[in-house]
Amino acid sequence: MLLEMKNIAVNYGKINAIRNISVAVPEGKIVTIIGGNGAGKTTTLRAMSGMLPITAGEITFEGKRIDHLPAYKVVANGIAHVPEGRRIFPDMTVEENLRTGAFLRKDKDAVEEDLEDVFTRFPRLRERRTQMAKTMSGGEQQMLAIGRALMSKPRLLLMDEPSMGLAPVIVEEIAQIVEEINANGLSVVLVEQNAELALELADYAYVLETGNAAMEGPADELHGNEHVRAAYLGL
């Protein structure tokens, strides 16, 4: 397993946000976490990247415990997080945003190559290279957030609601990008409100309900499951 989360709990003050959550991410796969509002999807993802302290359980990445590390040290281990709401740096240019994604890297030549790769993958980012990030559309900002994450040369990409607030055409485009980067060997954890999209993309899925693990299984199996169809796919 590339990443393994075992029996994690996270509290907000005295409130139990998630309990006893276990997630395993195999190398090269897309794993999705679906569930309704407040089910604990984002909390689970933020625990993975060190943004929230866990109160129970353990997280290992490539066999190494990472659950005691602050967020800025988790990145150094090869985990990049595309946060909910994109969170690009509004008053920095597109290029500055991307280069900030490579903040920890010392291999300057490879950074230039990766920047070129990101521009090739997202031609619109190249066009807007010197533009302030806040002036871009939602879809472009999502692409920038993904590009910024790729610039750290991660082995695992965590994505929180990449489809949120985007037009269907753009969502389709983002989905394609996720498939492409996964095909290039990057493992992905995808948190999505849009269960249809998530189950279509993922190899394996977890369903959270009010902070608890409700169900898990291969994505196509869950897609056929009656409870999932009724509760999350609206079928």
Partner 1 sequence: MLDLLAQTGLNAVYAASYISLVAVGLVLIFGVMGVINFAHGELFMAGAYAIVALYAGLNVPFFLAVAAGLLFVGCLGLLMERALFRPLKDNPLGGLVASIGFLMILQALAVMGFGVRMVHIPPVTQEVIAFSEKVRLPVARLYVIIAAIVLLSALWYFLKRTKFGWALRASAQDPEAAALQGISITQTARIAMFIGAGLAGIAGALTAPLVSVNPHMGHSVIVTAFIVIIVGGVGSLEGAIVASVAYALVHTFVTTFWDGVLADIVGLSLMLLVLIVKPTGLFGSADRA
- Point out which span in 73-81, 119-127, 178-186, 212-220 binds partner 1 (CB under 8 A): 73-81
> Counting contacts by CB under 8 A, is residue 92 touching partner 1?
yes
Question: Smallest distance, Å, CB 59 to partner 1?
Answer: 16
Q: Does 56 bind partner 1 (CB under 8 A)?
A: no
CA distance readout (Å), 223 to 33, 40, 102, 106, 168: 13, 20, 37, 43, 20
Q: Is 1 in the site for partner 1 (CB under 8 A)?
A: no
Q: Is 134 in the site for partner 1 (CB under 8 A)?
A: yes
Is residue 96 a contact residue for partner 1 (CB under 8 A)?
yes
Give the residues across from 15 on adjacent strands: 12
76 is a site residue for partner 1 (CB under 8 A): yes
Q: What's the farthest any 2 CA atoms get from each other in the chain?
A: 51
Sign of CA dihedral 119, 124, 126, 129: negative
Minimum distance of partner 1 from residue 47's CB (angstroms): 14
C-beta of 61 vs 232, nearer to partner 1: 61
Q: How far apart (Å, rounded) are the C-alpha atoms in residues 222 and 218?
A: 6
Q: Which residues contact 29 (CB under 8 A, 6 or more apart)?
A: 182, 187, 188, 202, 203, 204
Burial 188-197 (b: 16+ CB within 10 A, else e): bbbbbbbbeb
218 forms part of the interface with partner 1 (CB under 8 A): no
101 touches partner 1 (CB under 8 A): yes
Least distance in angstroms from the C-beta of 88 to partner 1:
7
Tell me the closest approach of the beta carbon of residue 45 to partner 1, in angstroms: 11
Count the residues of the shown chain that bind partner 1, applying the rule CB under 8 A.
Answer: 26
Closest distance to partner 1 from the beta carbon of 103 (Å): 5
Buried b (16+ CB within 10 A) or exposed e, 206-231: bbbeebebebbeebeebbebeebeeb
Positions touching partner 1 (CB under 8 A) are 49, 51, 70-73, 75-76, 80-81, 83, 87-92, 96, 99-101, 103-104, 134, 148, 152
